[in-house]
Structure 1
Amino acid sequence: MATFEIGVILPGVDVQRRDGITLWDAAGHAEDAGLDGVWHGDHLAVGGPTLDAPIALATAAAATSRIAIGTSVFIPAIRPLAWAAKQIASLQYVSDGRLVLGVGSGGGPDQWAAAGVPYAERGRRTDTALELLPRLLAGEPVLLP
């Protein structure tokens, strides 16, 4: 029989407020329930309040000791690459190696405008990030664009 892992998306700000649950408690509950991971999206403009993914996941890492923490998805191309690498490395460190990094090219044009990055550049910038981030995380010298 095949095995698989099950995780959940952490509740957004509106759900936390409505249900009176903290991010800390939600992550802890997922671990206590025997799930394998918790995930958080990485968006700037979604039509409502949203937490910063690295900060939300750092909270989840502190509230748990076993389960994976993951991005669904992390958008490196809306950040300076050195900053993205620092966020990734920091999450890997504070989670004691439990980070699962999902990477994507982001949402719609509003999100890119909020980051000050032209929407038409999302593919090229994502390709560049996927090429350079592993080298940055490995501590290799990199000439940044």
Structure 2
Amino acid sequence: MATFRIGVILPGVGVQRRDGVTLREAAGHAEDAGLDGVWHGDHLAIGGPTLDAPIALATAAAATSRITIGTSVFVPAIRPLAWAAKQIASLQYVSDGRLVLGVGSGGGPGQWAAAGVPYTQRGHRSDTALELLPRLLAGEPVVFPT
């Protein structure tokens, strides 16, 4: 029989405020309940308050010791690639290797406009990120395309 791993999406700012729960408490509760992981989305602008995914996941990592922390999904192409690699490596470090990185090409045009990145470059930048991120994270020298 297959083994299943079960995780939950961490509550957003609105839910935290409404229910009076902190991100640390939610992550700790997930671990205490025996779940396998907690996840957080990576949105720059979604029409309401939202936390930065790397910071939210670093908070969850600090509040837990066993469960996986993960992105659902991280959008490396919307930010400078060296910065994305640093965020990923930092999360892996502060979580003691518990990061699972889900990667996507990002939300709608509004998020890309807010980042100052043309939406039409989304696919190309995502392809470049998927090609170069593993090398950056391995510490290999990388020449960034211009």
For the aligned pair, the TM-score class normalised by the smaller chain equals: over 0.9
**What is the distance in 1 between the residues matched to 2:77 and 2:41?**
15
Structure 1 gap ranges (5+): none
Q: Give 4+ residue runs of structure 1 displaced > 6 Å after superposition.
A: none
Partner of 1:125: 125
1:52 aligns with 2:52: yes
1:86-118: CA deviation from partner (whole Å, max 9, x where unpaired): 000000000000000000000000000001001
Partner of 1:138: 138
**What is the distance in 2 between the residues matched to 1:88 and 1:78?**
14
**What is the distance in 1 between the residues matched to 2:18 and 2:115?**
29
TM-score, normalised by the number of residues in structure 1: 0.99
Partner of 2:24: 24
Structure 2 gap ranges (5+): none
**What is the distance in 1 between the residues matched to 2:106 and 2:98?**
23
Partner of 1:10: 10
| CA-atom RMSD in angstroms | 0.4
**What is the distance in 1 between the residues matched to 2:11 and 2:124?**
31
Deviation at 1:2, TM superposition (A): 1.2
1:117 aligns to what SS in structure 2? Answer: coil
How much identity, in percent, do the aligned residues show?
A: 90
1:65 aligns to what SS in structure 2? Answer: coil
TM-score, normalised by the number of residues in structure 2: 0.98
